[in-house]
Every structure is written in C-alpha cells, then in structure tokens.
Amino acid sequence: MKKVLPVFLGLSLAACGGGSDDNSTPKAQEQQPTVNNSTTTEQPATSEFAPIVGVYDASYEGDKAVAVIDSQGKYHMFDHLNDDKGGNKDCYAAATKELPNYSFNDLSFKYDENLRHFQLQNATPSLAYEINDKNEVEYIISDNMTIGGGALSIKSNNQHIVIRKDKLAVSVEDVLGKKCA
C-alpha cells in the first residue's frame, strides 16, 4: 500500500495542472503585435456639382474651344489651339472676347433643388443645366429655349454662345494640366 499512495498523489497534482490562479497573459502572446486585417479606403469628397463637372465642346467654325465646369461649379472657357487657327499647338489658352461663351467665363453655378437645375449665376443670356433622375444632364435651358440634344448656338453683334450638353472624353484635369505657357 505504501507504493500506491505516492503514485496517487503524483496523479492528483498532475491533474490540477500545477498552475497558478493569476490571469496574466503568457509572454509569447504579449509580444505579438495586433494586426488589423480590415481595409478602409478613404472615399474622395464628392462635389454637389458632380453631375455637371466636365469638359464640353464649344467649338465653332473650325475654331476648337472647350468649356470646363470644375468641382466648385465654376465655368471656364479655353481656346484649344490644336487647330489651324491656333497654330496646331496642343495646349489650352485663356479665353478671349472672340471666343464663344466668353461672357460666361469665371461665373459660378448654383443648384436649385426644386427645379433640378444648375443655374449659372449672372449669366446673359441665362444658362441652366437640368438634371434627370440618374443625375445626368438632360436639358440645357437658355432664356426661353430648352435643348435636349445637339447644340445651342446663338450669335449676335456682341457675343457668341455655343452650348452642348454632352461631355467630352477629356477630363478637367487634362485641360487644366495643358494650359498654354
């Protein structure tokens, strides 16, 4: 019986695990860094003017010109000199009085939620872009005319207006990055 008692005590101690009551973290786990496997991408800020932001063709009679509406809703005109009149230079020159839409240059749009229009402030003649349910330009409105497709071209003694509703494939950044020196 003397041999059974030491074996029984040894088995009892082994079953208890011989550990302590303290809840400390083992050293191997303490040294492992916490890894966050989730990926977060920062969403770019979207402009309230996003439906109309872009580059629009304002060319007339072989003279290339573009209208740029930037993310702040500002209207800019540029003469694209990549034509016979501009000496075939691949750059965009600042607007001059001879350029279509010169009277709109540097004016800003304001959105009218009730009408779903982006109205160009202080424009003569008036200019608005109407947006459909998909946030796309549906109509161009100038004074009492509404244009759904094609171009609006008005020429008088003191000004020339050429408006198209479809955007060009070139980006605002492309035009602003190729300003003539």
What are the pLDDT digits (tens) for 17-31? 544 455 555 444 444
Tokens of 43: 């969403």
What are the pLDDT digits (tens) for 87-130? 999 999 999 998 999 999 999 999 999 988 999 999 988 999 99
| Beta strands 160-164; 151-155: pairing state | antiparallel
Q: 61-65: long-range contacts at Cβ-Cβ below 8 A with a sequence spacing of 24 or more?
A: 63/99, 65/99, 65/100, 65/101, 65/162
How many CB atoms neighbour CB 37 within 10 A? Answer: 4
pLDDT beyond 80 at 84? yes
pTM (predicted TM-score)? 0.72
Q: 85-88: long-range contacts at Cβ-Cβ below 8 A with a sequence spacing of 24 or more?
A: none
Higher pLDDT, 48 or 37: 48
